[in-house]
Every structure is written in C-alpha cells, then in structure tokens.
Structure 1
C-alpha cells in the first residue's frame, strides 16, 4: 500500500514541479516586461514566443531535480539540504539554458528575465516543498502514511535509531518490535519490545506485514549479517543497515573505489577543502568587521564600567588551544577580580564564585565578555563559528578521557558553535558538547554556519550556565 502510494505521490510531485516551472517562467516574463521594475526597449518577444522553449526547459529541469535526489522520500530529510539541492539544480539549469541560447544564437531572449526566472523558481520550489513537508508530517502524526518496520539486533545503533524515530512521530515510522539474541524476550526500550531471537525473522517475513527491516546488530554479531540480509532480500522487503560503529565512522562517510572494493575514509572534514576554507575565512573577516562596528557602543560602555568598578586590566587574555593544537591567547572583557595565574588555572568558575565582579556576572550571562574575541577572528586564531577552545590543562585531561576529543582541533575554534546554540555552554556535559562539535565538523556547510549565527541571536547570547 505504501509503496503504491509512493509511486503515485512521486508522479504527482513531478507534475506539480512541471507546473511550478511553467508558472515561474510566465511570472518572470511578466515581472521583466510588464511590472515596470525594469527598463524596456521599444521591442521585445511576446509571451507566446518565450513559452515555446518550455518544451525543452521543463524536461531538463525535471531531470536535474531527479539527479539532485529531489524525489526521494522526505522522512527525516533536512529542509536545509533539500533547499540547497534545489538551488544547485536551478543554477545548473540556468547555465544550460544560457548555453543553449548561445549555441542557437537566440540573442533576443532577455538574460534578465532568465535571472528573474531563476529567483522565482527557487523560491516557489522551496516554498512548495516546505508546505508539502508540513502536510505530510501532519498526516503522519495522525496515523496516516505509516511505515511498519522491524529492528534486527540490539546494540547502541538500535538505541540511537529508536531514540530518533520515537521522538519524531512526524516521520511516520511504526516500530513493531526488535529481534535480538542478546536480550530476553519481553524486555523493552523506549516502549518497543523484544519479540524474540533473530531466528524468528524466518517466521515474521512470510506474513508480509512489514515495509522495512532495519538491521542494527552489534559489532560482535556481524557474522550473522550475511544470513539476515539473504533472508530479507528473498522476502522482497526493503532492508536498511545501521552500523554499530558511529563513534568511529563519521555521520557522512565518503568512500573510494579501489578497483571494485569500497574503502571507507574514517574522517570527513569539509573544511580541509581549500575552497571551503577560503570562503569561510572571507565570511569570518567580513562578519567580524561588521560585528565590531555594530557592537562598538556596547564594548565602549562595558570598558568604562569595568574600569570604574574594578581595579585591574580591561582585557583578560587566556591561553587556549586552537587549530592543529596550536596555543593562542583568547581575549575577553575581564569579569573577575585580578588573581594569581596559579589560582586562575585551578578550575571552572562555579556558582556564586566570589572571584566574579558584579558587572562580570552580568556580562558573562549576556556573553558581552566574549566580544573582544572578534579581534581574535580578525587575527585568524578563531572563526565566527566553530568548537569552543579549551585551556591546555583541560585539553590534556579530556583527550585521555573522551574518545575523538582531539578531532575538534582540525578546524579553527569559534566565537559560537553548534553545541552552544543547543544549550551546551559553561558547566554542562563535555561529552555532549564534543558530540555536537563533531557533528558540526563533519557536516559543515556555509549554510550551516549562517544557521548557527542566526540561532545565536535567539539562543546563544544568554548563557544560563555562566557564573
């Protein structure tokens, strides 16, 4: 039932996309030639003449949408990634369109109209897909368009999968149970029961009541993988595999083809790409300069209050560990009384810490004390977005206690980060902070940076864990 609905849905989706392309093209012609927003020459092609090329444009764009996986199921798919795929497909479509016009020597077609078409089509496609996503998730929450799945194997991978599926009913997954050899029948996790051992799969599959099998075996049980996959494929049920080594392999692993043998690279860091690194650095410099100008009145007032209310230097500098494990001095507005360097290194700031000055308590809560780090960004020690840097003694401590901790030093530390906007600041779980930092490092995009900066204005400035 679900598979049949999915096929019908995909065909309808393609039809609606074709109509959106036609609408966007017609709207672009109207905006360019009839809205009065652009200067007009004495003569231009009619709407009918422009619409003739849609015979070629629509199929090309639909093929591009398919190539960029815009017709894959939307369960669990991120809006940001989908929007970026729409932009990419439309950029290539626009370039192909212009190339065809050039080769055909069709110089009468307005390039301005094509640019307007690009903008209108991108906005319309993103808007339509977000509305569609909202409708689908609403109906799934109400119990429609569900996928019935069975987990085979109990492991950390199984728990992680269930944690996500159970907390997102809008994805439309109904977990019927778990088959596991290492847990007793009847035991539950997140309300999902163990139905028996993996051998019971041979009884369940012929009943044909499942849409998906999700294999979540533990590492020690991988010798069973071949037998289980063969059973699932013979039954024709769609099968997925969730590996039990997500603490080793990154979220988005990339593979190399060694003459037919897949080779998985252990770590993927997009910012190791030179083009990505240069683009991020340009945004850092521009963003830091703009922020310094915008926040200069706040920094001036803060400087005066600190000087008047507490003797000592205005700026507090502290050694931190940055990219490639290199130490640097990070700047802050001084929020504590002046103290010996040995006392300062003793540990975290605690609640009602007597060392914190009255104005220091306020600027720490509101993150105003962090503003001098904008100059760290200009120097190149830090970035606008990235993992927060730690002091050398804590780096030495955490690298021995927390697996993969040192991976965060493959990128520049940030003024704000994915962990911070998710509430992991100050006196919070360092383990969870590292999980969020690693997710950021492995999934970096420029759009992800802008999202974090945007969220910082709503979530990141007020630090409830700052003392």
Structure 2
C-alpha cells in the first residue's frame, strides 16, 4: 500500500497528458499540408500549365513542402520551448523555409534555366507560406503555454535516489525555462539520514517497492536514477525491479561529466542521461497502433456480424445463462480490465477468476463451447475491447488476474518477471500464439516460452510485425491440439 502522500500524489498525476512529441509531430504534418496547398493554389491562379508541367509542379509542391518542414526542424522550429514563444519562431521558420526553397530554386535553375515563371512561383510561395506558418504559430503559442502551465502537455518524471546528486539534477532541470519535464517526486530505499525526506523542495514519496505501485496509478513517463555509476550492484538491483514498468528509464550522468557517444545517451533538457530502457510503443508509434486497431477491429465487427449472431443463438439454445462471459484480466501496466467472451461453460460452473484451468474433456464446457473454444470464436467479442481501448489486436495475451497453471502454480511464481509482459497493451492474438503457444498451460516451460515470445514482440514491435501476426493467426487456429 502507498503511504498517504504518495497516494495523493499518484492521484494528482493520474490524468492523461498530451505528449510534446505528438504536438510537434501533428504540427509538422499540418504545416506540410498547408505549404503544399499554397503552392497548388498559386499554380491554379496562374496560366494553366500543360499536363506534363502540371505533374512536375505537383511533385515539386509536395517535395518542397516536405523539404520546408525538414528545414524548419533542422533550425529547431518544432521544439516545444520554441513553439511557446512567438518572437523566437520567426528566425527558424524564415530560415528553414528559405533554405528549402533555395535548394529547389537551384535545382530549377539547373534543369530549366529559361523558366522565369518558376522563379516567380517560388517567390510567391515563399512569402505566402512564411506568412501562413508564422500567423498560425502566433495563435498556437498561447495554447501551448497554457497547456504547459496547466500540466496538460508535459513529460512526468520520478527521481530514483535522493541526496546531493538528486538535488543537483532537480535544480538543473527546473532552471531550464523552456523545459517540458515535471518532477513528480523522489523514491529511495535509504533512510532519512542518507536520503533526506525533502530534496530541492520535492518530497521523498517512498521506497522502490512503493515506486512500482505508484507508477501503476500515476501516468509517469520517465524514471531518472541518480545513483553514481560506481554503485553498480545497487543500480542493477534497482533496474531489475523497475524494468517491468512501461517507462523510459534513464541514468543521470551529469555529475560525472562523461564523454559518451551520441547513440549511448540523450538529454533531459540539457542534462545528459544514459538510456537504459525505452518505453515500448510510445508517442507516434502508440498513436499509429491505436488507429490501426480501431480501423481493423471496426471492419472485423461489421464483416463478422453474421458469425456473432449465429454464435449468440447457438450459445443461448445450448444451455441456460447469458450469452457473454466477462472475466477480469491484467491489462496494460498491470491494470485490471474486464474482457468479453462468448460463454463456453455451463453458467453455474463458470470460473471468472480462472482458478481452475480448462483441460481436455472438461465437463464444465458445453457442446457449443467446445467448438467455439477450439476455433477461438469465443474470443471474437474482444473486438469490442479493442475498440474501447482496453486491448489491442496484437499483443501479449491477457491472463486472468489470478491465473494458475494446471499444476496450481501461479504464473508469477513460475516466471519471476512475469509482469514485464504488461509493458504494452495486451492483444487478442500474439507472437506466442501464432508460434503454437495457445490453450492450456500444463507445464512451466510453456509459460516461459510464451513469456520469451511476448518479450520478443515488445522489443521488436512494428506495424508490419502486427500485420504479419494477424496474417498468420487464421493458420495458427487450425492447430487445435492445445485448445480445449
């Protein structure tokens, strides 16, 4: 249980935030569309070009818009601190946009030296584009400042380890005027004598065990470990406890002033940190996966509606009780969710807690239940869980809250780091399932193998990986020897 201060702090940071990377990315897309549209509008108002020339202009319009956004990005025009200050945006926008069109103009000069129309078009495009971008940014700067002030758009961080190192880190972070990192508190296993209860105005909220529970409630983005690099054994002990959390884990290195290669470290503001673990499927990847889930799940619900109807009728006619079965399972970040299934057992013998594994010839399973379990039709209602955002189409399969193997061993007793598979949203199908690991877990090795496949999926996720798993899922359902 969390102490009162930690519990109140966790509740305060339980609300969702807008990731700064998402805001910057959305602005890049919007500005790219605006620049391309302006170029096309300029072309449309001029003398109608030939069909061949029209296609060239369209290609240049899109290419120039992309180059313009890239140029502004190179000049720092999409940094959140920059976006919140109106006057500061003039130079990066004007310079980046000018550099992009200068490159295009040079290319046109080489390819079409006689074309004065192209140069006039570029001049109008530059002026109109710059005015449009800067005008929109002047309006957007106010909301961005307000979102930062109100905690709607920020990266939330927790410091692991107190004392002088933590104080130096905190003061460095809060001294940065354009920083987007909010310190939410400090956690440390050491007593108050070695780790004071208050560091740079921030309270120590508890120990490492409490930090794991805290991060399950609060929406934290990052853990920054301030222990010295020389305390290798202690750092490894911390990391072993914390890696199961879906967070960026960084090791502060500012005190040692190290000379690292650029790929081995990043910056929290201006503070160098070692990248130990990265949050899987974060920011744009998470948004892409969510859009993919909604589109495919919605289409599947419509396409499979006859199967839904036929199964519902068969379940109702076969035995008394509700058509659907609800079961509490572990979801993302170990949060408890309620998944939907077609009922496959006699209602009076249902086991919502899954304390007894379904085995071959289990008398609790109905006649219709045996068929829909073997064919996995009983899982189809979980498409609604996908639309609701509790499940993904692809991910580690969610197990019941009190999941046991057929030998009555709890899953967490078989695999020490079992909850590490909850760093991403669970799925209807997964990498383990298409590789033959579905159905009853009657041996500890089967759970360990599932765990290994789940971790492989988490570490190597991509949309193409999801598509490949979905494509293999129908074939994997033909192997029913472990599905009862």
Greater relative contact order (CA < 8 Å, ≥ 6 in sequence): 2
Q: TM-score by structure 2 length?
A: 0.44
Tell me the TM-score normalised to structure 1 length.
Answer: 0.46
